[in-house]
Structure 1
Amino acid sequence: MIENGKILVETLVVCCYGKFNPIRGFTIRELEIATNNFDARNVIKDGYAYKFYKGFVEDRTVSVMKFNDILNDGHEDCFNNIIFASKLSSHKNVLKLTGCCLETRIPVIVFESVKNRTLADHIYQNQPHFEPLLLSQRLRIAVHIANAIAYLHIGFSRPILHRNIRPSRIFLDEGYIAKLFDFSLSVSIPEGETCVKDKVTGTMGFLAPEYINTGDFNEKCDVFSFGMLLLVLLTGQKIFDPSRGDEIGAGHYWLLHYVKKCIENNEFDEIVDPIIVSEGPRVGKEKQLQGFRELALMCVCESAEDRPTTVDVAKRLKQIYQHLA
């Protein structure tokens, strides 16, 4: 606990320009009681590196993020989440940090509650207790996340890069308010630099081509990932799916290749998520779909220079959502 506390304080002071904002401390016993000893039935997200549990603290629902204790890099990922969540929690579309427990080998983090699991759960799983996500809801979720990412990029003296934008990194709260989370890979661009150079990490299919080729990551790489998120929202399809390549080649296992091929063949309408199609026609719907598609393709341009900024993306999405496209 002492070592974890020392690391946390030192890291927060460095990242917050000499200031340290105290974070509420929880005991492991409090969190065991809150989650019924981390009962598997309380898991709301099960990932490779961590699990999120639904819990109750002082009659208030919370989300508890517990890392896998066998991870060698678990400490780094955990402290990254605490650091960046503490800086970003004021934004309504970022999952709000409540506190943490330093008594375990890898600290346990406590966040605000979430009601409706992740966007990936709703897009991919089609579970009967999930209501279908309509086009208007998808557009609103896109607006929320674009606003959050724009805040990361311009809200601080040095831009913050998320580096892992995808549906499983977005919780949906009551009313389907989108909340960006998981800052395990996030990093600030150093002062005087225009990018971060690092080993390639993240999720294939969401990674910008220049990052794969050079290891250089900047804001436009986040824009590319967000563009892929828009394509997932439009099509309801997974980023990688071997069944897609049976007739048009293995390269189209990847969603971006598949979408481009369908557009070349004037078949894009055929791959719009059937849930969106089943809504039926209404005034402005086709214009919204067109604007949504065009913006997504701008975000995933091969050349980073041709991609819009996240601020421009957020503005454009708001226009599309409000039928002003």
Structure 2
Amino acid sequence: MRCGCFRRLSIKKEKRPNNYISSEIEGYPLDNIRNFSDKELCLATDNYHLSNKIGRGGFGTVFQGTLKDGRKIAVKPLSVGSKQGVREFLTEINTLSYVKHENLVELVGFCVQGPNRTVVYEYVENGNLHTALLGNKKSNIKLEWRKRSAICIGTAKGLAYLHEELAQHIVHRDIKASNVLLDKDFNPKIGDFGMAKLFPDDITHISTRIAGTTGYLAPEYALGGQLTKKADVYSFGVLILEIISGKSSSRTNWEGSQKSLLEWAWHLHEEEKWLELVDQDMEEFSEKEVIKYIKVALFCTQAAAKRRPLMTQVVDMLTKDIQLNEKQLTAPGLFNTDVGESSQKKSNPESLVYHTSSTEALASITEVTAR
């Protein structure tokens, strides 16, 4: 297999030696992370041998590798014909180089050498959530409720960090099961930032081209390209339902109803039959907790973006003894990809309010409003 990536980049007009690695491309300073050479990465991955293949990202196959010092890494070279251009590649490495959080994948380095573009991450032992949750049921990975709950909470904390804690906020734009990696203790780490957008705090939305994965897309974003942090919140809500049900959001045949996972969850909510959504492989769980998580997912996926909570509030909902005000819960926003229409229902314009039953907190916590 030929080592490295596949489209030639015009970095400088003057000729450079074959081993030249630029420290700045198109104005992006890249001197705060490690610059790898093709030779180093080929040696680490045994020349990208298929036995080292561990997954596939949005723009290329991911390989396991081992550096000379013994550190394990995950290497993602751009695939042949990848639609990820220089801008997306640089967005990913520039974004991750300044982002440090236990629930986000750590960027180890990158390679830009001749035609080659490669991202190098920390190695995460248990692969991605999609494989663990929705893949081969014969695998040795067993996700009991304790692990599933921790994955929901950790992913929520990672998103809250991106949305609220960074000086310049970040919208991920592609939250889904395959972009949540699991370490040796099954702690979740959000990865694949190739579609991420920096989101200044003083604006309400960004108009942008649609990016993401069918089944996770918020309808207002899928229809009009109006991007806010609430698009990530919507995707996270769908992800919670997948984690609880053990089923893909792309499935559209629940009990012969031709409903999507989100539609079926809303139907069960209206019927107060929440536990029918639970994965049959999950033998022991707290019914009260599972029902609360389903309701949190429904708050996250409401049709009106302004009614969805912030991710910091979602973390509170999942981790604190909070009683949700279900009177404020409205129907989810749905996007019919077959006909290109939204099935959003009109919702009460009042803001969501939730209350706590904890003696250590105030009776009324937060009013959730649009940023």
Percentage identity across paired residues of the two chains? 27
- Quote the residue 1:265 is aligned against: 271
**Preserved contact between residue 42 and residue 53 of structure 1 (Cα < 8 Å):** yes
Verify the 8 A CA contact 1:196 1:218 in the aligned structure 2: yes
Q: Which residue of 2 aligns with 1:157?
A: 167
TM-score (norm 1): 0.87
Q: Of the candidates 102, 111, 125, which is equivalent to residue 101 of structure 1?
A: 111
Aligned-pair Cα RMSD in Å: 2.3
**1:53 aligns to what?**
63
Structure 1 residue 47 displacement after superposition: 4.1
Q: SS of 2:98's equivalent?
A: helix
Question: 2:82 is matched with which residue?
Answer: 71
Q: CA–CA distance in 2 between the matches of 1:236 and 1:126?
A: 12
SS in 2 for 1:121: helix
Distance 1:71 1:140, change over 3 A: same
Contact 1:190 1:196 in 2 (8 A): no
CA deviations 1:168-208 (Å, max 9, x no partner) are 00110111111110011101124642211112221121111
Q: How does 1:1-325 map to 2 (within 5 A)?
A: 3=11, 8-13=24-29, 21-47=31-57, 49-58=59-68, 59-88=70-99, 90-190=100-200, 192-244=202-254, 247-248=256-257, 250=258, 252=259, 254-276=260-282, 278-279=283-284, 285-319=286-320
Contact 1:28 1:104 in 2 (8 A): no
SS in 2 for 1:114: coil
- Asked if the contact 1:118/1:169 (under 8 Å) is kept, the reply is yes
CA distance in 1, matches of 2:138, 2:321: 29
Contact 1:259 1:268 in 2 (8 A): yes
**Alignment-derived partner of residue 331 in structure 2:** none
SS at 1:275 equivalent: coil
Residues 70-79 or 45-54, more deviating: 70-79
Q: Which residue of 1 aligns with 2:18?
A: none
Range that drifts further, 121-130 or 109-118: 121-130
CA distance in 1, matches of 2:11, 2:321: 50
1:101 positional shift = 1.3
Shift in CA distance, 190/48, structure 1 to aligned 2, threshold 3 Å: closer
1:239 Cα deviation after fit = 0.8
Per chain length, whose mean CA-contact separation is higher, i.e. which structure has more relative contact order (CA < 8 Å, sep 6+)?
1
Q: Distance in 2 between matches of 1:133 and 1:104?
A: 43
Alignment partners' CA distance in 2, 1:84 and 1:130 = 34
- Residues 50, 68 of structure 1: 8 Å contact kept: yes
* 1:75/1:106 contact within 8 Å kept: no
- Equivalent residue of 1:289, what SS? helix
How much does 1:149 deviate? 0.7
In 2, Cα distance between the equivalents of 1:170 and 1:6? Answer: 30
Unaligned 5+ runs, structure 1: 14-19
1-side partners of 2:229 and 2:58: how far apart? 26
Greater helix proportion: 1
**What secondary structure does 2:250 align onto?**
coil
- The structure with the greater share of residues assigned to strand is 2
Aligned to 1:16: none
Which residues of structure 2 form unaligned runs of 5+? Answer: 1-8, 13-20, 323-356, 359-371
* 1:259 shift after superposition: 1.5
Asked if the contact 2:252/2:261 (under 8 Å) is kept, the reply is no
Q: Which amino acid counterpart does residue 67 of structure 1 have in structure 2?
A: L
Please report the TM-score for the alignment, with normalisation by the length of structure 2.
0.77
Distance in 2, Cα, partners of 1:317 & 1:124: 23
Deviations 1:240-291 (A, max 9, x none): 124437x32x3x1x21112112333343312211122x22x6xxx1221121
Q: 2:58 touches 2:192 (CA, 8 Å); kept in 1?
A: no
| Structure 1 residue 320, shift from structure 2 partner | 6.4
Counterpart Cα distance in 1 of 2:27 and 2:205: 21
Distance 1:206 1:22 in 2: 33
Taking a change above 3 Å as real, the CA distance of residues 262 and 309 of structure 1, as seen in their structure-2 partners, is same
Distance 2:168 2:58 in 1: 30
**One-letter amino acid of the structure 2 residue matched with residue 128 of structure 1:** K
Task: Kindly provide the amino acid, as one letter, of the partner of residue 151 in structure 2.
Answer: I
Q: Give the match's secondary structure for 2:101.
A: coil
